[in-house]
Amino acid sequence: MEIQTVGVVGLGNMGLGIAATLARAGFVVLGTDISVARRVPAEAAGVRFHEALTEVLRGADCLVFSLPYARDVEAVVTAPGGLLDRRDRKVVVIDTSTSDPGTSRRLAARLSEAGHGLLDAPVSGGPSGAADGTLTMMIGGADEDLAAAHPVVEAMSAKAIHVGPSGAGNIAKLVNNMLVAAHLVTTGEAMRLSEAAGLPAEAVLKVVNAATGRSAISEAMYPRWVLPGSFDSGFSAGLMRKDVGLAADLARDTGARLPLSAEVARIWAETRGSIADADDFTRMADYRTERKY
């Protein structure tokens, strides 16, 4: 079935950029957010803002969720008078939130029973990638649901990797973010060591980024947000703590022994006093400030 109207639920840093991208791609975009203040930037981006969630859930041919927590995703999927009650057409939900695989699988089953589909499709690329339509998406779900939602996925992303069935996208995202969380800690410590030994961080980064120690932290985040001290990537430390916690929960549930990752999770949890949840997550890599953890 052709997709003409896309509903975006959650118009925060990521969701607003996604909605604007879809509007530029020619879709009619319906948007909603718990903050009515998002109406102004949404409408400026060509999005038809609705205060009532059900108007978006019942009016869209395809839905994109950009929400903070798994409980928020579940609340939207099961909203009374919403998606589970629709029988006019099949609707595929593209859930870009980082959630837990178990919740994704359970909600996918409920939606399937109602004749709909769910792709757990967390993203990488930040607010700039959302606004430019250059996100990387890691997708879990059925082949037929991905095929149905392909035009929307294509408009949102530069890379869309179908990694497996329901839940697989969130597994991949949690693995990725566990590495990011660790790299932020280790890169910050490495730069602190270089500075302590008399070699400026700017100088040693040239070597690291030309050698095997490089990562997205050293190559992209350091020059853009850490070295200038702007710390404004648009992704909060609180959300990274949430993702690290979900990865730790997954390790516990699967019986995987991850001692270094457990230490990283402890560091992120215990630095709340110096890096607040509302702070940008790149502050963890600030070599200028020695953290006590």
Tokens 């490495």 identify what position? Answer: 190
Tell me: pLDDT of 144 over 80: yes
The residue-averaged pLDDT of 71-95 equals 96
Report the predicted TM-score, pTM, of the whole model to 2 decimal places.
0.93
Which of the residues are catalytic?
Answer: 173
Report the amino acid identity of residue 39: R
- pLDDT at residue number 60: 98
Note whether 14 and 120 are same-domain residues: yes
Tell me: pLDDT of 201 over 90: yes
Report the amino acid identity of residue 37: A
Note whether 42 and 151 are same-domain residues: yes
Pick from 58, 71, 4, 41: which is nearest to 242 by CA?
Answer: 71
- The model's pLDDT over 113-142, given as tens digits with 9 standing for 90+, comes to 999 999 999 999 999 999 999 999 999 999
- pLDDT at residue number 279: 97
Residues 45, 48, 51, 54, CA torsion sign: negative
Domain's final residue, options 133, 148, 165: 165
- CATH label of the domain that carries residue 54: 3.40.50.720
Tell me: pLDDT of 193 over 80: yes
Note whether 157 and 37 are same-domain residues: yes
Q: Is 75 inside any structural domain?
A: yes
The pair of structure tokens assigned to 275 is 């890096």
The residue-averaged pLDDT of 143-155 equals 98
The pair of structure tokens assigned to 232 is 């404004």
The residue-averaged pLDDT of 279-283 equals 97
Note whether 17 and 149 are same-domain residues: yes
- pLDDT at residue number 290: 84
- The model's pLDDT over 10-23, given as tens digits with 9 standing for 90+, comes to 999 999 999 999 99
Note whether 12 and 151 are same-domain residues: yes
CA–CA distance, 74 with 95 (Å, rounded to integer): 11
The residue-averaged pLDDT of 150-165 equals 98
- pLDDT at residue number 259: 97
Q: Is 147 inside any structural domain?
A: yes
Give the H or E element holding residue 184.
helix 168-196
Note whether 139 and 270 are same-domain residues: no
Task: Provide the domain limits for residue 26.
Answer: 5-165
Antiparallel, parallel or unpaired: β 135-140 and 157-164: parallel
172 with 206: CB under 8 angstroms? Answer: no
64 with 152: CB under 8 angstroms? Answer: yes
Tell me: pLDDT of 2 over 90: yes
Q: What is the share, in percent, of the chain residues with pLDDT greater than 90?
A: 98
Note whether 11 and 144 are same-domain residues: yes
Report the amino acid identity of residue 139: I
CA–CA distance, 161 with 287 (Å, rounded to integer): 34
- The model's pLDDT over 204-216, given as tens digits with 9 standing for 90+, comes to 999 999 999 999 9
Number of domains into which the chain is organized: 2
Note whether 85 and 36 are same-domain residues: yes
91 with 61: CB under 8 angstroms? Answer: yes
Task: Report the chain's mean pLDDT, rounded to a whole number.
Answer: 96
- The model's pLDDT over 30-55, given as tens digits with 9 standing for 90+, comes to 999 999 999 999 999 999 999 999 99
CA–CA distance, 64 with 214 (Å, rounded to integer): 33
- pLDDT at residue number 292: 78
- CA 46 distance to own-chain centroid: 23
The residue-averaged pLDDT of 58-84 equals 96
Note whether 69 and 20 are same-domain residues: yes
Give the H or E element holding residue 95.
strand 92-95
CA dist list (Å): 16 to 23, 66, 127, 169: 11, 9, 9, 22
Q: Is 292 inside any structural domain?
A: no
